[in-house]
Amino acid sequence: MTLPSLQTERIESCKAGVLAAIAFSMSELGMQLFNTIVLLSQGEQLAIFTVSLEIEFLSRLAIAVISGFLFGVTYRYIIRGDNNSHLKDGSVLAFGIVRGLALWEGMGIISGQLWLVGLLFGESLFCFALTRFLLDFALERKFIKPFL
C-alpha to C-alpha distance for 21 and 70, rounded to whole angstroms: 8
- Residue 52 — pLDDT band, cuts 50, 70, 90? low
Q: What local confidence, expressed as pLDDT, does residue 43 receive?
A: 57
Highest mean predicted confidence (pLDDT) among 26-40, 45-59, 77-91, 101-115: 77-91
Q: Which residues contact 24 (CB under 8 A, 6 or more apart)?
A: 64, 65, 67, 68, 71, 72, 127, 128, 130, 131
Q: What local confidence, expressed as pLDDT, does residue 131 receive?
A: 97
First to last CA, the chain: 11
Q: Say whether pLDDT at 67 is over 90.
A: yes
Helix (H, G, I), strand (E, B) or coil at 81: coil
Q: Say whether pLDDT at 111 is over 70.
A: no
Q: Say whether pLDDT at 136 is over 50.
A: yes
- Contact call for residues 136 and 69 (beta carbons, < 8 A): no
Kindly state the average pLDDT of the residues 126-141: 95
- Residue 128 — pLDDT band, cuts 50, 70, 90? very high
